[in-house]
Chains A and B, each alone.
Chain A
Amino acid sequence: MKLQLTVNGTTTEATVEPRTHLADVLRDQLDLTGTHLGCEHGVCGACTLLLDGAPARSCITLAVACDGAAVTTIEGLDEDEIAAELRTAFAREHALQCGYCTPGMIMSARDLVLRLDRPDEQAIRVGLSGNLCRCTGYVGIVRAVRAVIEARRQRGIAAVVGAGRTTLGPVGSQPGAIATATSSALPPVTEMKLSRGVALGTLDPPTAVPAKSFDASFTVNAAPEHVFALFGNVETLAACFPGATITAMPAPDHIEGEIRVAIGPLSAVFRGSARIDRNAADLSGRLIGTGRDQRSRTSTSGQISWRMLPIDQGRATRVALTIGYSLSGPLAQIARDGLVRDLASRITTTFAQNCDRHLNGTTSSAETPEPQRLNALALLLDVARQRLTGLARRMRGP
């Protein structure tokens, strides 16, 4: 896609993929390498620059989203009065050592100088909290910024709320000025095709103890034997289970298939195999499975055990579940129990409703109900925020 930017006062055109973030365009195409990239997910602040005059993260801002915008990088602040004062103060106060954070730090500091009237040290620290420095311990930086602000206020230069911005909406996203950026063809789907040669069916589901485990239960308005029988009919079971599809059944107790999960914007397709053991004597059973999501390269193994307990003199059943799971791969680094529980409980609810509907015949086509694409199931996934937080924490050290 073509886009037009005014970079440091010069109108520039660039051709970029939609996925390219603004910092990459500046650095790789325009050779403006003063904008640094640290974490590339909006935490460290090294990539901070000015979009339409206001600080923004260039690593989490798509270049195409900035079509028509004015971009000011650290290179564009050579003649800027506040930046010059900050440079002097930074040098005097030893506010930098390796210098990696400094371009972003100057951007944020300049914004504080413009906006904060008479900040105390705490206000400056909070204002700079989105820019990480690993060398200095911040003392010199805070002192430098404070000195510049105090000097300017003494010279009678007042702070301006919002640095004088008057328009509403995200900076950099220009209403109207978007003639060149309207669409692009859908890129070829790059999802990896599952190689049937991998022979997932031959993988024996592991029987190791799952790393995480919790209990859940639901009630169905049917006798325990009926519910137990339903749990024995694999096709029906899969049809009731949100997001599950069976692709093959090499043996009556052996399933190959996939489970689609989507938690908010996250989605994954875990493909794999499972085995079902049943014990008619005590109306219990378990499903042991293993699967892998190609896109996130995350593997899971899990075990769901059930027991049918009669309630209401055997007219209804409480299905007691124990759900255990292990995750390995990128998504596993950040697994958090609470989210998994929340999603599992939502899945359980839908699953229970589907079972009930099936057993009590409230659907007309009970034999082949459409597998529901429920927006859930995190037996397998965990979520971005935790990952971001985790990464941020790791970046900052213990």
Chain B
Amino acid sequence: MTQTVLTVDDSRTIREMLNHTLSAAGFRVVTAEDGVHGLDVLQTERPDVIITDINMPRLDGFGFIEAVRGDAAHRATPILVLTTESEPEKKARAREAGATGWIVKPFNPTKLVDAVRRVAA
């Protein structure tokens, strides 16, 4: 069955790149431009995996993850944090917020798809 990935990132470049890579790997991709938009999309979509950026306008990645974890319909959805920060404190904060794992940018297609497969049930 085709798995769906929701990507949440304010950068068009990164969204397109994720879309391209994940579509090529056989995933169905839905996109959102920031945390608020991501929560909107979750009203109608039930993705198998969510990938989110941290630095975004309106609602950042931390807030977005907390909101998803607080939503009964999506609290068990794996969330990967996509960030250039490799600093431990950023990871720790994402983890605290409820992130399942992370992908450090820049990512190559293999690494990205591996990470998604790794958390996708």
Tell me whether A and B are bound partners.
no
Interface residues of B, Cβ cutoff 8 Å to A: none
